Structure 1
Amino acid sequence: MAAEPAPNQSVERAAALLRALAEGHGDIRASDLAAAAGLGLSTTSRLLATMESLDLVVRDGGAGAYRLGPLALTLGGAAANQSRVYREARQHMQNLAGRLGLGVNLATRDGDHLLYLFNTEGPAAPKAFTLTGQRNPLHATGLGKSLLAGLDAAGRRALLPADRLTAFTARTVTDHDALDAEVDLVLTRGYATEIEELALGRACVAAPIRDRGNEVVAAVSISGPLSALDLSHRRDELGQAALELADTVSTALGYRAVALPPQALAAPPESAG
C-alpha cells in the first residue's frame, strides 16, 4: 500500500494562525499571533501576507493588527449551509427564541468538545456575539450531556478520561458516575439540564437530535440567565419545548421512535441540575 501523504506544513501553520484569530477578541498583532501559534515572527509575517492577498485575513494598516477576512466569513457561512441539521433547525429555533424570549442553540460533537452550529436569542437572553463556530466542553453543558447520550458509559470514559472532567464552577460534574446519572436522565426524561456548571448565573435545558439510524447527531438547548429561565418553576415547560424542537428536527432527518427496553423505563433519581 502507498504511504499516507505527509501533512503540508504550510497549511498546518496557516490553520494555526486562523485558529488563533478565531479564538481571539478583536484585532491581533502579528507578534501575538506568532506566539499563540508557536511560530517564528518571520514565518508568521509571510503567511499573513499570503492570507491577506486571499482575503482570509484583513490588516489594520495603522495598528499593524489582523482579523479574519471576508473569505473566512464566506467559508463559515457555506459550512453552516452545507449542514442538513442546521438547515432543518434554523427557522424552528428562531421561532422558539421569539416565542420564549430566550437563547436557542444548536451544536454537534466535534471530538471531545461540542461545536456550535447556530445560535439565536430573544430579548431576555441577549448576546453581543455569535456562538457559531465556538467550542465548549461536553461534561459541563446541557448540550454536551445530550450529545453524550449517543455513547455508552465505556465510550464516554474513553472519550473523556477522568482528568478531562475539569471543574469550571463548584457545580460542574467532575466524575463519571455523576455524569452517567446525568446522561441517564437524558435517555429517560428526554432532556438535560445545566445550572451554573460552565458559567455562574447561566442555565439551560437541552435535548438530543437523532437521525434515521437513531444516532445522536446534534443537540438543541434553551439558555439564558438563571432569572430568565427560572428552572425551579419552568424546568418541565422549557424541557418540553427543547424536546419538541429536537423531535421536529429529528423527524425531518428521518428519525422514527424506537421502543425502550424494559430496564430503561425505571427512571434514575432526579439530579440536582
Structure 2
Amino acid sequence: MAIRVTDAGTNQSVERAVSVLRALDSGRAELRVSDVAEVTGLGSSTASRLLSTLERLDMVERDPVSNLYRLSLGTLSLSATALNRHPVHRASRMVLQGLAARTGLGANVAVRRGDVLLFLCNFEGTRAPKSYTQAGDTAPLHATGIGKCLLTRLTPKERRRLLAEPLAAHTEFTTVSHDLLDEEIDTVRRSGYAVEAEERALGRASLAAPVRDASGDVVAAISLWGPTSLLGGQAKATRPEDEARTALTREVIEAADAISQALGGI
C-alpha cells in the first residue's frame, strides 16, 4: 500500500521523512531505495537523501553488503517510551501477564486507532498457539473480540462511517454485514464481553472484555485467545453451559475490571 504525503498545513520535509520511516515499517524487513520511493510516492533522489539523513540520525541503517535499508535500534527508545508511558499499557501489563499464566492462553490488550485496533502488549500462555503478534501490530475491528468491544463506544451510524460495507472477510465465519455487526455489538453491551470464533483465523477463538476510564468510556479492551478446542469454535460459540468457557469468561471480565479500576473507572 502506498504511503503518500500531503502538503495541507504541514511541514513537507518532516512529513516526507515520516513517510520513509513508515515505509520501512510496512511489512518487508528491508527495502531498496527504489522500494521506498515506490511506497512513498517520492522520487528516487528524494528518497535516497532522506534515507541518508535518517541514517546519520540513527533512525535507519543500511546493510553494508546488500545496501538494503531497515529501521535501526535508534527508533527503539522512542517507541518504548511512548508505549511504557501509555496509561493503558501501564495498568494492564501485570494483569495480563497473570491472566496468561493462570489460564495458559494468550492475553492481549489493544486500543482503537482509526479504523483498526492497535495492540499494546501480548502474552503467550502454555496452551496458546505460537503468536507473532507484538506491540504496534494492528488488526481489524469487526473480526476480533477486542475490536467488537472497542466498537461499542460508537453508534451504528458512526460505525458505518468508519468501516465500509461489505466488511472484509478473513474467513468464511467473518461478520461482513453492518446489520449483523450491530446485533453482535448490542450483545456485547448487554453481556459485558465479546465472543469471536474463527472470524479472523480458522482454529482460533477469543473472549474479550472492554476497559473503561474514569469517565466510563471504553478506552481499550483485552482478550484471551487460543485454539477453538479450548475456547469453542463456531459449533460451540453459543453454549453458555460450557463450564470451562464460563470460567474463562469470568477471568477476562475480572481482569478488564481490574485494569479499569487502575485507570479510575468502575
Scaled by the length of structure 1, the TM-score of the pair is 0.86
Aligned to 1:270: none
Aligned to 2:255: 245
- Work out the CA distance in 1 between the residues paired with 2:67 and 2:172: 41
Summarize the Cα distance change of 1:128–1:42 in structure 2 as closer, same or farther, 3 Å threshold: farther
Summarize the Cα distance change of 1:5–1:35 in structure 2 as closer, same or farther, 3 Å threshold: closer
Aligned to 1:197: 199
- Work out the CA distance in 2 between the residues paired with 1:128 and 1:156: 29
Map 1:32-111 → 2, pairs under 5 A:
32-111=35-114
Aligned to 2:143: 140
Conserved 8 A contact 2:124-2:131: no
- Work out the CA distance in 2 between the residues paired with 1:83 and 1:14: 25
Aligned to 1:169: 171
Displacement of 1:216: 0.5
- Work out the CA distance in 1 between the residues paired with 2:194 and 2:53: 45
Equivalent position SS for 2:65? coil
Summarize the Cα distance change of 1:228–1:34 in structure 2 as closer, same or farther, 3 Å threshold: farther
Aligned to 2:239: none
- Work out the CA distance in 1 between the residues paired with 2:86 and 2:110: 11
4+ runs deviating over 6 angstroms:
none
Conserved 8 A contact 2:103-2:248: no
CA-to-partner distance for each residue in 1:82-115, whole Å, 9 max, x for gaps?
Answer: 1111101001111111111211111001111111
Worse-matched range after superposition: 223-232 or 115-124: 223-232
- Unaligned regions of 5+ residues in structure 2, if any? 1-6, 237-241
Worse-matched range after superposition: 27-36 or 240-249: 27-36
Displacement of 1:27: 2.1
Equivalent position SS for 2:153? coil
Equivalent position SS for 1:204? strand
The residue type paired with residue 245 of structure 1 is A
- Work out the CA distance in 2 between the residues paired with 1:225 and 1:50: 46
- Unaligned regions of 5+ residues in structure 1, if any? 257-273
* Seq. identity, %: 50
- Work out the CA distance in 2 between the residues paired with 1:55 and 1:126: 36
Aligned to 2:3: none
Summarize the Cα distance change of 1:108–1:226 in structure 2 as closer, same or farther, 3 Å threshold: same
Conserved 8 A contact 1:149-1:186: yes
The residue type paired with residue 186 of structure 2 is D
The residue type paired with residue 254 of structure 1 is G
The residue type paired with residue 101 of structure 2 is G
Q: How large is the Cα RMSD of the aligned pairs?
A: 1.9
Scaled by the length of structure 2, the TM-score of the pair is 0.88
Displacement of 1:118: 1.1
Conserved 8 A contact 2:142-2:148: yes
- Work out the CA distance in 1 between the residues paired with 2:131 and 2:114: 27
- Work out the CA distance in 1 between the residues paired with 2:91 and 2:101: 17
The number of residues matched between the two structures is: 252
Conserved 8 A contact 2:128-2:227: yes
Summarize the Cα distance change of 1:140–1:212 in structure 2 as closer, same or farther, 3 Å threshold: same
Equivalent position SS for 2:168? coil
The residue type paired with residue 9 of structure 2 is A
Conserved 8 A contact 1:125-1:228: no
